[in-house]
Amino acid sequence: MSFTLVIHGGAGNITPAIMNAEQEAQYTRGLTEALDKGYHILQNGGTSLDAVVAAITTLEDNPIFNAGRGAVFTKKGLNEMDAAIMDGSNLMAGAIAGVRNIKNPIKLAREVMLRSGHVFLSGEGAAEFALNQGIEMAPDEYFFNRQRYDQWVEIRDSDYYQLDHKADNLKGQTDPEYKFGTVGAVACDAEGNIAAGTSTGGMTNKRYGRIGDSPVIGAGTYANNKTCAISCTGHGEPFLRAVVAHDVSCLMEYKGLSLQDATAVVVKDKLVKIGGEGGLIAVDAKGNYDFCFNSAGMYRGMRNSDGKEVVAFYGE
């Protein structure tokens, strides 16, 4: 049986004009390392779920991505993180939102799925559960990143928010350098079971405990062996309204669309009509995969048992 791992590190206005050779090398290393960790598990007969967690943990540990260690700062100058994971073999899922000082939020999401009896925990309750489960914590200093901090300082006295680096703000103005910095992974293992996971540090200067699509099952993350596993990245509000991840699954289940046709309908038609920008990664239970995005680029990678590998940033 074939197996496949697909990852992303965010989407947005990612073009050669805003990337120098050093940055390209940095992102190539970061994506390749995550592929190595996740693929090693699949290659040794491990589960899609474990491969997804391994790949995302590696991305969370890398401060160039807006998740885990690289999480951006909120209005209050804090790092708040969201994550979700879903097992396509049994539709079990776990998600957390608004957590702080959790070294690897994706690991906490997995614990929620396996041991809490619930699907979605947030804030202080999620933190209490993390302590009970012995999840690894990290001090505020671990999450401090000078570049991210300076981005926040620049806009903290305004009503603007930024989608990762330079971004849309509340007044609808746009900076050409914005990126959506979620990370995610989807996998199909040798048993034909699929899984999806997503992790994010949210928006710079976000207020009111805002939560995007990443941890919401069916919006930013979804997996079902009958159809597909999806992890999204983009401006979360339209992705929430369009229930993007589940919509792709529905088009496959109810209309019989292929993986590629279903993702194209949702990302390049439905999302565009409501102003949604970003993309997703997808895999089905036969190991077919897809990258689909309507932004200029998406940090992405894929490796499969047919010997194929992709690491790319820009649009085709």
Active-site residue, 182 included: yes
Q: Please say if the pLDDT value at position 157 is more than 80.
A: no
What is the reported pTM? 0.94
Q: Supply 314's token pair.
A: 């820009």
> According to the model, what pLDDT value does residue 36 have?
98
Name the phi and psi angles at 129, rounded to 5: -60, -40
Write the single-letter amino acid at 306: D
Domain count, the chain: 1
> According to the model, what pLDDT value does residue 172 have?
40
Q: How far is CA 104 from the centre of its chain?
A: 13
Task: Quickly state the pLDDT bin for 175 (edges 50, 70, 90).
Answer: very low
Higher pLDDT, 153 or 305: 305
Q: Supply 240's token pair.
A: 């929430």
Q: Please say if the pLDDT value at position 167 is more than 50.
A: no
**pLDDT more than 70, % of the chain:** 93
Mean pLDDT throughout 122-130?
A: 97
> According to the model, what pLDDT value does residue 131 have?
97
Catalytic: which of 182, 221, 227, 263? Answer: 182
pLDDT digits (tens, 9 = 90+) for 64-88: 999 999 988 887 888 889 999 999 9
Q: Please say if the pLDDT value at position 178 is more than 80.
A: no
Structural domain range at position 95: 4-314
Residues 6+ apart with CB under 8 A from 206: 74, 75, 80, 161
pLDDT digits (tens, 9 = 90+) for 4-57: 999 999 999 999 998 999 999 999 999 999 999 999 999 999 999 999 999 999
Distance CA 280, CA 298 (A): 9
> According to the model, what pLDDT value does residue 89 have?
98
Q: For the chain, what is the mean pLDDT?
A: 91
Q: Please say if the pLDDT value at position 279 is more than 80.
A: yes
CATH of the domain at 286: 3.60.20.30
pLDDT digits (tens, 9 = 90+) for 229-240: 999 999 899 999
Distance CA 197, CA 55 (A): 9
> According to the model, what pLDDT value does residue 203 have?
80
Q: Supply 97's token pair.
A: 């939102």
